[in-house]
Amino acid sequence: MPYRDNLKQITVMVMAILLIAFASPEFCAGRSNGKDFRNSRQGEIQKQYVMPIELSKYGHVEIRAKVNSVEGIFILDTGAGINVITKTFASKLGKIKMHDGSFTGFRATGEPLEMHLYTISSLEIGDLQERNSTFTILDADLGKIDGLISLASFKEQPFTIDYANKKLYLESSGSLMSREKNGKVIKIQLDDDRGVSIDMFTRVRVNNKLDLQISLDSGAGFNVFRFNAEYLKSLVGDTTNIKRYNKQSSLNAKTTNNFYLAKLNSLAISDNPSIKVHDIKASFLKSLIYDGITSINWLGNCITIDISKKELIIN
């Protein structure tokens, strides 16, 4: 359950901004001509809704949402797995119900994380309203950020992140059809953990050598490319002069993670190789439990995520 690493990413520096665009930003509006499409899927809004976003200097997508009618600022984090609110924000919500038992998740480094789960009466993101959603509470100071909104709240609601114009679109059936007609489709795989957390993955071709399955993580920020160190020699060859460093775990002072830094020539989507990026500054981590984790901004300026159809659409 990768959201643990994303929390750390909020407070550390990530690589410089580099957007790889595959279509003009103007099309990202994906208009449905204001029509009310009444054949929407269950849980999906009937008319496209657009709302502003902010991008942090690290590339995190910040949105405003209401939890139990209390407005806050949240990171829209496709790698979070589960929705998170800070302890400070939770104190503003009044009484909330804690579940019996607990939930054990794992950081991308394999470190276990025990969590208590809570039922929140309502979550509002623009026109999207979710009742009795599940959150966990984090006892940490994230500055102005009140928590993370994960894919768990979008299982039935397709949405589009428009990086170029700093907008979030909640798609109707009509606007989604327009995006599918004009965009490039990427198939994704889902990790749905006991109905509590959900993350998305896709297969990529790295250096035109290895076909790997990576986690797609908007919460990583801009241009983060991280791979399992098992593949370092296969992808890079001679590792004699590879830069390396050790970093202490933010959760356990006794745990140290080993990182290796290297440049990769290319990264492309396996089932749609026209979506690609070149000259990548990548890091390799020995304890990573996935083949890899990357940001999503390299896919394009305008990214539609449709969990129910298990696909992304790039416009």
Whether the predicted pLDDT of 37 surpasses 70 = no
Instruction: Enumerate long-range contacts of 240-243, CB under 8 Å, 24 or more apart.
Output: none
Q: What was the pLDDT predicted at 287?
A: 85
What pLDDT, in 10s, does the model give residues 205-261? 999 999 999 999 999 999 999 999 999 999 999 888 899 888 876 666 677 778 999
Q: Is 127 exposed, middle or buried (0-12, 13-18, 19+ CB in 10 A)?
A: middle
Q: What was the pLDDT predicted at 252?
A: 65
Q: What was the pLDDT predicted at 246?
A: 84
Question: Please, are residues 158 and 171 in contact by the beta-carbon 8 Å criterion?
Answer: yes
Q: What's the CATH superfamily of 200-298?
A: Acid Proteases (2.40.70.10)
Location of each CATH 2.40.70.10 domain in the chain: 3-184, 200-298
Q: What angle do CA 217, 15, 302 make, to 5 degrees?
A: 50
Please tell me the pTM assigned to this model.
Answer: 0.86
Instruction: Over range 296-315, report the average pLDDT.
Output: 98
What pLDDT, in 10s, does the model give residues 181-195? 999 999 999 999 999
Q: What was the pLDDT predicted at 111?
A: 81
Whether the predicted pLDDT of 18 surpasses 50 = no
| Residues 123, 133: Cα–Cα separation, whole Å | 7
Domain 3-184 has CATH 2.40.70.10: yes
